Copies of this chain bind each other. A is one copy, B any other.
């Protein structure tokens, strides 16, 4: 039964920091942002969570199985190793978008993202991991290498992939309250409520019709994002072998 815990990760007062006292070199900012993302991936991933970089100064994580103490340790670890601090607020919901709205509102209630006094906010609802699970769908583009990467200019391919991502993300949000993220290459991960084979077939058809991009999708579920996501990857491998567009992994035996 999907009931997702989402964490909003926001760098405290980051925008002003990047230009104080003068604009900092872009290369250093890019390095800082991508390494912080990598570290958060590792820190949250150890307990089965997924982090998505989205805007880098605001990141979204699936954190079923991480309680508030685990969040606090992550907050401390960033403080000890970076020149910036992070706020972490959580929300829980049957629909991921509702969970994230709760997390966001909690942070907004504490002050502005550019309020220098609002630092290291921590709080929010956490889910009982024994009573809840996550559903993850892993999409990729059929024949992406043959049709795109090996044929078109690299920027055009990027635009095409992004076009497909936008069409899919919009559909999944509006139809189901799912949150959808590009994760590199031609791969897109959607964190969903409990959806059916038919729901995913509709999503794939929607992208085919509106963006003319042919997707495949493997779906998994589990107690954590990692467990669900690994099931989704295996189901997607099944698609690659069988030629099916949609494959739902077997429910893990024990959770």
Asked if B31 and A34 sit within 8 Å, CB to CB, the answer is no
Which residues in B have their C-beta under 8 angstroms from that of A35? 34-35, 38, 81
Whether a CB of chain B sits under 8 angstroms from the CB of A159 is: yes
- A53 interface hit (Cβ, 8 Å): yes
Closest chain-B Cβ to A211's Cβ sits at a distance in Å of 12
**With A56-B185, A57-B185, A151-B108 as contacts: A51 and B30 at CB distance below 8 Å:** yes
Nearest-neighbour CB distance to chain B for A105, whole angstroms, equals 8
Majority DSSP secondary structure for residues of A touching B: helix
Jot down 30 A-B pairs with beta carbons below 8 A, ordered by A. A15-B185, A19-B237, A23-B234, A24-B80, A26-B50, A27-B226, A29-B183, A31-B45, A33-B184, A34-B37, A35-B38, A42-B42, A54-B154, A54-B158, A55-B158, A55-B186, A56-B185, A58-B149, A60-B154, A79-B83, A81-B83, A82-B82, A100-B153, A108-B150, A112-B150, A113-B149, A114-B145, A155-B179, A162-B166, A163-B166
Cα distance, A159 to B166, chains bound together (Å)? 8
State the CA gap A152–B79 with chains docked (Å): 27
Residue tally, chain A, CB below 8 Å to B: 86
Q: Is A121 an interface residue (CB 8 A)?
A: no
With CB as the reference atom, state the residue of chain B lying closest to A159.
Answer: B169
Which residues of chain B come closer than 8 Å to A162, judged between CB atoms?
A: 162, 166
Say whether B155 contacts A29, CB under 8 Å: no
CA distance A32 to B80 in the complex (A): 8
